[in-house]
Chains A and B, each alone.
Chain A
Amino acid sequence: MTRSLLGGAAALAAVLAAAPIGRAQQGWNFTGLTPAEFKAMPPGGPAPRRDISGMWDGGPAGVGATGQQAERAAARAPFTPLGEQMARENRPGNGPRRVAVAEINDPLSTLGDPAGFPRLVTFELRGVQIVQTPAQVLMLYLFEKRWRAIWTDGRSLPANPEPRWYGYSVGRWEDDYTLVVETVGLDDRTWIDNDGDPHSTDLRVTERYRRVDQTTLELTVTIDDPKIYTKPWLVRNRMPLRLLPPGADWMEMIPSASEAQAYQRAVVSQLKGK
């Protein structure tokens, strides 16, 4: 245990020395690790058992807008006929079906709708603070300043859930270092990702959080929606997150409806001209 703590402390100290991460530890409005800082993060010590708590930074892959577009497109399962139909109605700003700015109908950026789940972990996953209680794992996200409760008290998922923006989630420890989370009951107004991939209310999402070492957490997310996709597919595949010093105070990043309207009036309306 002591060795684990020392290993983790040494890794963090090395990062603090190598990068201007003091701004995370001491300041306000931390914007996240830069790609160079993220890459420079050394391996941590041994992972603690059944513990993924802490402040985690998803780094450049977490942002998920322009990065990894090709990987996402390659991983995506083929659409069913209904999936094709729903995908045609979504006009995203990114991905293989992206349209001009004036044509985008993304409910998040144009209306200020919630990102919803699983988009909250496929787009703008810059930072997430994970808190564990005896009955729940709480995910506190930088983006939207949103939170999710993952029940770990042994309950089952609801049989006929009323759809919610962020669904219903239960988690279990698959082994001492892997938490598996299942989520159902998802509102089909939301997109799976920034590429406008649709889903139905039958969507089932599986997240696997694997604590690789003291300072690294890996996230894999499986999309299973037989109405829309011909087979399950991975929208995140072992995406690493890095542990931040506990004093990190993140900036707010809240896509409000009034700000979305202001952007539409000022910028998008002019792009629609001519």
Chain B
Amino acid sequence: MRHRQMVGGVVLALVLAPGVPMSGHHGADTFATGTQITLKGTVTEWIWANPHCFLRFDAKDDTGTVRNWVAETQNPVSMTARGLSRSMVKAGDPVTVTIEPAKNGEPVARLLTVTLPDGRTLVAANPQPAAPAPSPQ
């Protein structure tokens, strides 16, 4: 699995967040629910917008190649309720993120947590349980 190759240290972290209403459009069968990877990277862009905010960051895989990731959250109102903000990071900031990657292997993901340069860890979303395996036909 490509994600596993590109992540030097894979850290599983279960996090709990206060129950805050989520919204937006979610979609089925897009992200690898039940899979969490942690990446250290550098912010290239933090877009605070509807329907979903998203964080772009550069992170090296274990061959030393830098990939530019995009990790989506929910909308600004739901993110503000969880303590995230438009000004929490800027391009060039070092961050550590926990993400749920897309199934298609592209560097796109759901953002679960982000650890800011000041050491605070903010929870953008609760991890989703793994999708049940398809039943044999």
The main secondary structure of chain B at its interface with chain A is loop
In the bound complex, how far is the Cα of B27 from the Cα of A214, in angstroms? 39
Asked if A154 is at the interface of the complex by the 8 Å CB criterion, the answer is no
Report the minimum CB–CB distance from B29 to chain A (whole Å): 5
In the bound complex, how far is the Cα of B1 from the Cα of A241, in angstroms? 47
Q: Which of B75, B76, B81, B108 contacts A34 (CB 8 A)?
A: B81
A contact residues around B26 at 8 Å (CB): 65-66, 93-94, 98, 101
Q: Is the CB of B105 within 8 A of A274?
A: yes
Q: Which of A32, A35, A36 contacts B77 (CB 8 A)?
A: A32
Asked if A59 is at the interface of the complex by the 8 Å CB criterion, the answer is yes
Q: Which of A59, A98, A109 contacts B24 (CB 8 A)?
A: A109
Q: Is the CB of B30 within 8 A of A101?
A: yes
Query: For this complex, into which size category does the number of interface residues on chain A fall?
Result: 35 or more
Q: Is the CB of B49 within 8 A of A262?
A: yes
Interface flags for A64-91 (1: CB within 8 Å of B; 0: not) read 1111000000000000000000000000
Asked if B57 is at the interface of the complex by the 8 Å CB criterion, the answer is no
Q: Which of B22, B49, B70, B76 contacts A65 (CB 8 A)?
A: B22
In the bound complex, how far is the Cα of B72 from the Cα of A100, in angstroms? 15
A contact residues around B49 at 8 Å (CB): 256, 259, 262-263
Asked if B25 is at the interface of the complex by the 8 Å CB criterion, the answer is yes
A contact residues around B102 at 8 Å (CB): 270-271
Report the minimum CB–CB distance from A152 to chain B (whole Å): 31
Asked if B21 is at the interface of the complex by the 8 Å CB criterion, the answer is yes
Asked if B14 is at the interface of the complex by the 8 Å CB criterion, the answer is no
Q: Is the CB of B76 within 8 A of A271?
A: no
Interface flags for A238-274 (1: CB within 8 Å of B; 0: not) read 0000000000000101111001101100110011011
Q: Which of A62, A93, A123 contacts B27 (CB 8 A)?
A: A93
Near A by CB (< 8 A), chain B positions 41-89 give 47, 49-52, 54, 56, 70, 72, 75-78, 80-81
The main secondary structure of chain A at its interface with chain B is loop
Q: Is the CB of B108 within 8 A of A267?
A: yes
Q: Is the CB of B108 within 8 A of A35?
A: no
Asked if B20 is at the interface of the complex by the 8 Å CB criterion, the answer is yes
Q: Is the CB of A266 within 8 A of B25?
A: no
Q: Is the CB of A65 within 8 A of B23?
A: yes
A contact residues around B19 at 8 Å (CB): 34-36, 60
> Please, which residue of chain A has its CB at the minimum distance from the CB of B19?
A35
Q: Is the CB of B28 within 8 A of A99?
A: yes
Q: Which of B51, B72, B76 contacts A251 (CB 8 A)?
A: B76
**A31-B77, A271-B104 known; A254 and B50 CB under 8 Å?**
yes
Q: Is the CB of B27 within 8 A of A256?
A: no
In the bound complex, how far is the Cα of B24 from the Cα of A257, in angstroms? 15
Q: Which of B22, B29, B30, B76 contacts A253 (CB 8 A)?
A: B76
Asked if A8 is at the interface of the complex by the 8 Å CB criterion, the answer is no
Asked if B106 is at the interface of the complex by the 8 Å CB criterion, the answer is yes
Q: Is the CB of B21 within 8 A of A60?
A: yes
Report the minimum CB–CB distance from B43 to chain A (whole Å): 14
Report the minimum CB–CB distance from A239 to chain B (whole Å): 13
Report the minimum CB–CB distance from B124 to chain A (whole Å): 14
Q: Is the CB of B21 within 8 A of A67?
A: yes
With contacts A34-B20, A35-B21, A256-B50 known, what are 12 further pairs, Cβ within 8 A? A31-B81, A32-B21, A32-B77, A65-B24, A98-B26, A101-B27, A251-B76, A260-B51, A262-B47, A263-B72, A266-B70, A270-B106
Q: Which 7 A-B pairs have the closest CB atoms?
A: A93-B25, A101-B27, A259-B49, A63-B21, A270-B108, A31-B81, A274-B104
Q: Chain B: residues with CB nearer than 8 A to chain A?
A: 18-30, 47, 49-52, 54, 56, 70, 72, 75-78, 80-81, 102, 104-108
